[in-house]
Structure 1
Amino acid sequence: MKFISFVFAALVYSLNLFAAPVITDNHIKIDQFGYRPADRKIAVISNPVTGYNSSSHYSPGNNFQVRRWSDDAVVYSGTISAWNGGATHSQSGDKVWWFDFSTLTAEGTYYIFDITNNAGSYQFDINENVYFNPMKQALRTFYYQRCGIAKSTPYAQTGWTDAACHKGSLQDLDCRLYNNTNPSTSKDLSGGWHDAGDYNKYVNFTFETMIDLMLAFKFNTSVRGDNYNIPESGNGIPDILDEVKYELDWLLKMQNANGSVLSITGVMNYTSASPPSSDNSQRFYGPATTSASYTASALFALGAIQFNSIGQTTYASTLQTAAVNAWNWAVSNPNITFYNSGIVGAGEQEVSTYEKLVRKMALATISVWSNRKHYLQNFF
């Protein structure tokens, strides 16, 4: 009997370690990343009224709780408030309520509980570092976007491994000019990242992304880890810069000897295959343009600053030289364009006059940061 009592107590204890709502209902929506202790904390409760999911009716009770995931202890109680006086949101077709539990600041793992319906949300965390893992996984997305390398374990998760792509005949190692496929135009344009929804690679489209990554490194020390589980992890260089370097190395290949920068690497007609290694389409490159050269110049210049700051002076010098050469060519050739739509790639990569100015402004800012006045002399 004592043994049975012991087993029963042990089972109860183990169940409490993994307590959870009896019913998990996705009408109760939380921030799946979690909440920092001092942040405002809102759960959203929805009732579909019109639209594809209008049959999924949900009538929330007025009283809600926050419960600790491990033992179901109630740590906060409150009432919900209707959005816009109970009106139906025109776009979503939902009626919505807010449950504000901002005063709960204790770190832990919790869920929201609707007392009336005996239903709860998925679990969420409250702690200072809730955004670290999402940020880490977001950066790892660029590893999966890499062109020309195998995605292997332990870096790629099960189901996402793949052989090296676009290394076949007449692909990125032997890429030809779009309007002259003579072998004399062959270039090695391997590497870099695929675009978001296709396997093309656009110089201009990488501008905002690369600027954001390098500014994140410059201004936020918390992103400078060397343990993001990419092939370069542990090499003494922050992984965010390792990933940036993968794209910069491709941009260096896109630069001609005269300093100009090619605009695009991609296919002549929109084709796709999955996974990337199964794509056997011939690949081409577009001509050098003013906008691509300004884009690359800005990225080379900012890259030079960042890599110099971590002692990678040789690479920084290479980037600085490339930046100056690209800038000089763009200044001397201010109106060279290539509208690729219907020719190479999927999206139109040529930019407007305003966007060219943005790139020039970026260079001017970089010249101030780096105390190099070369760009400013030609800008004003």
Structure 2
Amino acid sequence: MKNKPYLKALLLMLTLTSFTPKPNIDSTNSWVRINLLGYQPQSSKVAIWASKTNHIPEKFELVDQSGKVVHTSTSVKTFGAYGPFKATARLNFSDFKTPGKYFIRIAEVKSPLIIIGDEVYRNTADFALRYMRQQRSGFNPFLQDSCHTHDGFVVYGAKAGIKDSTYFDATGGWHDASDYLQYSTTSANATYHLLMAYRDFPQAFADTKQANGLEGRNGTADVLDEAKWGLDWLLKMHPRDNIMFNQLADDRDHSSMRIPKEDNQYGKGFERPLYLITGEPQQRGKFMNNTKGTSSTAAKFASAFALGSNIFSATDEEYAKKLTQKAFSAMSYSQIKLGVTQTASVKSPYIYAEDNWVDDMELAYASMHLVKPQSLQRNVNTALTYAKQEPITPWLTKDTANHYQYYPFVNIGHYELAKQSSGSNKKQLINYYKQGIAQVWARAKQNAFYRGVPFIWCSNNLTVAFAQQCMWYKELSGDESFNELEQANFDWIFGCNPWGTSMVYGLPSWGDTPTDPHSAFTHLKQYPIDGGLVDGPVYTSIYKNLIGIQLTKPDAYSDFQSDLAVYHDDYGDYSTNEPTMDGTASLIYLLAAYDSRAKQTSNNFKTELGAITRGDIKQKKIALVFTGDEFADGGESIKKTLISENIKASFFLTGRFYNNPKFKSLIKDLKANGNYLGAHSNDHLLYNDWTKRDSLLVTENQFKKDLMDNYKAMQMFGIKKDDASYFLPPYEWYNQQIADWTKSIDLQLVNFSSGTRSNADYTYPELGKSYRSSDEILNSITTYHNSNTNGLNGFVLLLHIGTDPRRKDKFYNKLPQLVKFLKTSGYELVKINDLLKPAL
């Protein structure tokens, strides 16, 4: 056949042109950096290609653990050299959302294990909380021993009419870092972050420890126990209206590395010095600080006390009152001399050289309505004047800054104030955040890591703070244009950085994390310091000029050091590998936020121990919920209000209530009017112990029989189980086991939304400090609306259909006033099944 040679040539050409050989990439000089902790399905998901060659891949594969290619992408954004690398690129796989475990593969280069799932950040906030607990001074639960029990003696006391060396009890609080100094400014900021984390994301935290930090539940979330540890110490550091201390001990502490004990290097036995805040510069050795006023530290005290008072008012009224009083006295102290207070040093030039203070005053004034609600507008106006004085936290606009020069690293005041503001004021505050983010973005968009945070001492703390600012900006504005930038900063902390290591000790347990931090606990005793956030990389120029740094072993990350920045997992490098207490506290807030975000990826509902406790926070809907067992004195009044206001509510009633002949007519009317009627157990059983929540008081059979008896009583009114599938537990008290048993019979457990005192409308004066007046209850609801970004959106607002005769001040009489407030505020009042429609 004369065309045969031609066909052979054609086949050969087709074979050659259809075969694309794998690129020849040396896996020893190219890497894929990822977030070692994992990615949530709906989040931005980006890995970084980093190579010491000039090669940039055209595509990448996502491979499951069996080796199967599950996703191929050409979403490769090329960048040039960065740090030790000649070529870098962003590998974006955000469009892949299937949960599972995978690797990115590019020729012979393979990434570490990539985990995608809703629960990747679950329990991480509590994990980081371990470090805070380990930093406790006084009684230390990790060591199960006490230290620094003789603190302390006053220096610079003349300003307050106190003789120097006078003793004040200042035991407690947290050691600041791997040394044992204790600073009021970092402690107050850390305390505020912990309180804020509990306020904003209570569902992210468990109760596994007692107040002293030892094993055993105490009915209080562990993060709140830790916040109280901080508050208790702050109270000691502000013992009188005219006395406030800025720090306990000084850099003479650095004489040796040791497990915390009693220190005697300060010249007065085992007591350590307490530096009074005088508003004037202080000098103990040859170094003088640049203190100019009393405002920065005192204002931080005020905001922490105010928020603490607001949170603890629900459980400890006397403690809350004390915090309220201290909030006011701290505000007064901040006014003694407007300006910043810096820390003092004796032997070395390293101090917390804070320069700004108006941000602290802004937050303090934005917090004071929590202890004096009637002053809301006046304090908002004052806070706005301070906000305008420092619209952008200064480090955001700079490539470098001094140690703690602009602290806190994020302006929390803008966030809290924006939640209380509206119109042009709110827009202006949001724009302040945007302007700061834009400054960092201008630097970040030049490199593949989206790194715009300067490599100054404690750069990881700044990274966490910047991620917070991006998150709050998105929450306040609804603008998601910085999502990828925010995620990049979060990813950086957990391994998506040039060194490929997480910056948090032990997190994740399967990944590359610090093993040799600058810490006496690890260095001397090989104790783990779980959850501690290390300082992070610094400019190489800074590192080379620091005093006394000497690496103790070969550098495991030598391939990734550069003229730009260095990071060493080495005990000898205190500049990059020392964990900090306040940085870890900020990280706890961020981890709680990311964990809670996962809870809302499918339906935006909040859950706690298996019960839905809040509906979609993006919708201005509220479910008014009334429970009832033996009393129904408010029934007729409530029914009339619902009719006159043309709204529906939800009633969760016990079998005893349904079976009570006196209530039969009321129940029929409530049903006929279109309200939701549900179950509340038959005999109003207490399912689990009040103090040991996991200790059940009923068996599964007892639980199910009692609940089914409740539904039998409901059938008399034509209420079917399938039409009343939401169940609210008696006493509003339950645990995960109760939620699981509920789910096993095709019901959904629900509970009230925490944050207000609405559920205290059953109390009466004879209960003592637990009693709440109707005015207090109404005020708690309006305050929550004013103080939180999402207000009462999605709230399950629980009240009682009747109360004990000993309560004369019936809250249901204020129901018309409450409904008017909610409607005026833009809320739609709906039934529980309308609030939670997608849940079942």
Mark yes or no: TM-score above 0.5: yes
Equivalent-residue separation in structure 1 for 2:152 and 2:141 (angstroms): 22
Q: Deviations over 1:294-333 (max 9, x none)?
A: 3212211111011124x222221221122222223443x2
Could you say what secondary structure the match of 2:252 adopts? coil
Equivalent-residue separation in structure 1 for 2:30 and 2:180 (angstroms): 35
Could you say what secondary structure the match of 2:254 adopts? coil
Report the AA paired with residue 81 of structure 1: V
Cα 1:274–1:344 shift into 2, 3 Å: closer
Aligned to 2:45: 41
Q: CA deviation at 1:367?
A: 2.5
Equivalent-residue separation in structure 1 for 2:238 and 2:154 (angstroms): 14
Equivalent-residue separation in structure 2 for 1:327 and 1:345 (angstroms): 32
Pick aligned residue for 1:196 from 174, 177, 185? 177
Q: Deviations over 1:2-24 (max 9, x none)?
A: xxxxxxxxxxxxxxxxxxxxx99
- Within 5 A, what are the aligned runs for 1:1-380? 27-48=31-52, 62-69=58-65, 71-79=66-74, 81-84=76-79, 87-89=80-82, 91-114=83-106, 116-117=107-108, 119-152=109-142, 163-167=145-149, 173-178=150-155, 185-196=166-177, 198-227=179-208, 230-231=213-214, 234-267=217-250, 269=252, 271-277=254-260, 280=263, 281-282=265-266, 283-289=272-278, 290-291=294-295, 292-309=297-314, 311-331=315-335, 333-334=336-337, 339-343=342-346, 347-349=350-352, 351-352=354-355, 354-355=356-357, 357-373=358-374
Could you say what secondary structure the match of 1:27 adopts? strand
Cα 1:94–1:312 shift into 2, 3 Å: farther
Q: CA deviation at 1:143?
A: 1.5
Could you say what secondary structure the match of 2:194 adopts? helix
Q: CA deviation at 1:45?
A: 1.6
Deviates more, 1:253-262 or 1:32-41: 253-262
Contact conserved, 2:31 with 2:51, CA < 8 A, in 1? yes
Equivalent-residue separation in structure 2 for 1:375 and 1:263 (angstroms): 29
Cα 1:288–1:63 shift into 2, 3 Å: closer
Aligned to 1:13: none
Q: Deviations over 1:129-163 (max 9, x none)?
A: 222343332232211222233353xxxxxxxx585
Equivalent-residue separation in structure 1 for 2:232 and 2:324 (angstroms): 13
Report the AA paired with residue 269 of structure 1: R
Q: Deviations over 1:262-288 (max 9, x none)?
A: 111013535153343267333211013
Equivalent-residue separation in structure 2 for 1:370 and 1:258 (angstroms): 17
Aligned to 1:18: none
Cα 1:305–1:232 shift into 2, 3 Å: farther
Report the AA paired with residue 68 of structure 1: D
Contact conserved, 2:207 with 2:217, CA < 8 A, in 1? yes
User: Which protein is bigger by CA-based radius of gyration?
Assistant: 2
Equivalent-residue separation in structure 2 for 1:125 and 1:94 (angstroms): 28
Q: CA deviation at 1:96?
A: 1.0
Cα 1:372–1:225 shift into 2, 3 Å: same
Report the AA paired with residue 166 of structure 1: H
Deviates more, 1:221-230 or 1:359-368: 221-230
Equivalent-residue separation in structure 2 for 1:255 and 1:262 (angstroms): 6
Report the AA paired with residue 303 of structure 1: G
Could you say what secondary structure the match of 2:361 adopts? helix
Q: Deviations over 1:30-87 (max 9, x none)?
A: 11121111112112121136xxxxxxxx967644322223x33322123462523xx2
Could you say what secondary structure the match of 1:83 adopts? strand
Cα 1:179–1:317 shift into 2, 3 Å: closer
Contact conserved, 1:233 with 1:239, CA < 8 A, in 2? no
Equivalent-residue separation in structure 2 for 1:234 and 1:133 (angstroms): 16
Report the AA paired with residue 259 of structure 2: P
Equivalent-residue separation in structure 2 for 1:39 and 1:377 (angstroms): 40
Deviates more, 1:255-264 or 1:174-183: 174-183
Contact conserved, 2:52 with 2:85, CA < 8 A, in 1? yes
Contact conserved, 1:46 with 1:95, CA < 8 A, in 2? yes
Equivalent-residue separation in structure 2 for 1:372 and 1:301 (angstroms): 11
Q: Deviations over 1:94-120 (max 9, x none)?
A: 411232222221111222223x21x42
Cα 1:149–1:273 shift into 2, 3 Å: farther
Could you say what secondary structure the match of 1:185 adopts? coil
Q: Percent identity?
A: 23
Cα 1:376–1:251 shift into 2, 3 Å: farther
Q: CA deviation at 1:228?
A: 7.4
What are the ranges of 5 or more consecutive residues in structure 2 without an aligned counterpart?
1-26, 267-271, 279-293, 383-840
What are the ranges of 5 or more consecutive residues in structure 1 without an aligned counterpart?
1-22, 50-57, 153-160, 168-172
Equivalent-residue separation in structure 2 for 1:272 and 1:76 (angstroms): 56
Cα 1:274–1:24 shift into 2, 3 Å: farther
Superposed CA RMSD: 3.5
Cα 1:100–1:178 shift into 2, 3 Å: same
Contact conserved, 2:31 with 2:49, CA < 8 A, in 1? yes
The TM-score with structure 2 as length reference comes to 0.35
Q: Deviations over 1:182-217 (max 9, x none)?
A: 896112211111223532111122343333322222
How many residues are treated as equivalent by the alignment? 327
Contact conserved, 1:226 with 1:236, CA < 8 A, in 2? yes
Equivalent-residue separation in structure 2 for 1:28 and 1:92 (angstroms): 14
Equivalent-residue separation in structure 1 for 2:29 and 2:147 (angstroms): 41
